[in-house]
Amino acid sequence: MALMPILTAPDPRLKKKARPVEAVDSKVRRLMDDMLETMYDAPGIGLAAPQVGVLKRVIVVDVAEKEAAPEPLQLANPELVWVSDHDNTHEEGCLSVPEHYADVIRPDEIRLRYLDRDNRIGTLEANGILATCIQHEIDHLNGILFIDHISALKRNMILRKLLKEKKLAQKEAATA
């Protein structure tokens, strides 16, 4: 198991569409395990492979309460096969958009198809925070960040701030 560095916006790799895995083999399983470890360490409730620079359709999620037993999900090629026409607003954050939060409207309930850790087809129905998180992660696989769901004005303010912080960090690293 290993921690992987998490990319932050703006980064062109976060805007790319990820490719399906052909099968969940030992290499994909290792990626899933490293992603889960990286997510728990961050800490976050979800992580998509593009956030660690891997353009594969792989996500991990765990929305269990901190005190409760962990409920890790490791999914490859997740596909929404149904979404409810009822929407829900939830405040979202993202490990790739650190320290910024905004309300995002998404379908309340979803049904999902995916490949599990053993390369078997699975289905899952989700609502609430789990449905929000899974949709947020699938967005990452399509090069979409939660800030793409808010106004261009707010989005550009956030991106400018993150870029400034990145440039400052680079400068500090160069003079250290």
Catalytic (active-site) positions: 137
Contact between 7 and 52 under an 8 Å Cβ cutoff? The reply is: yes
Contact between 36 and 60 under an 8 Å Cβ cutoff? The reply is: yes
Among 56, 106, 140, 155, binds ligand GNR (CB under 6 A): 140
- For the bound state, the minimum distance from the C-beta of residue 48 to Ni ion, rounded and expressed in Å, comes to 7
β partners of residue 79: 113
Distance, in Å, from the CA atom of 39 to the CA atom of 16, rounded to the nearest integer, reads 21
Q: Site size for Ni ion, by CB under 5 A? A: 1
Binding mask 81-120 for Ni ion (x = CB under 5 A): -------------x--------------------------
Residues 34-73 that bind ligand GNR (CB under 6 A): 44-48, 51
- For the bound state, the minimum distance from the C-beta of residue 48 to ligand GNR, rounded and expressed in Å, comes to 5
Distance, in Å, from the CA atom of 30 to the CA atom of 6, rounded to the nearest integer, reads 17
Closest listed residue to residue 74, CA positions, set 117, 108, 17: 117
Q: Site size for ligand GNR, by CB under 6 A? A: 16
Residue 47 or 112: the one with the smaller Cβ distance to ligand GNR is 47
CA 15 to chain centre: 13
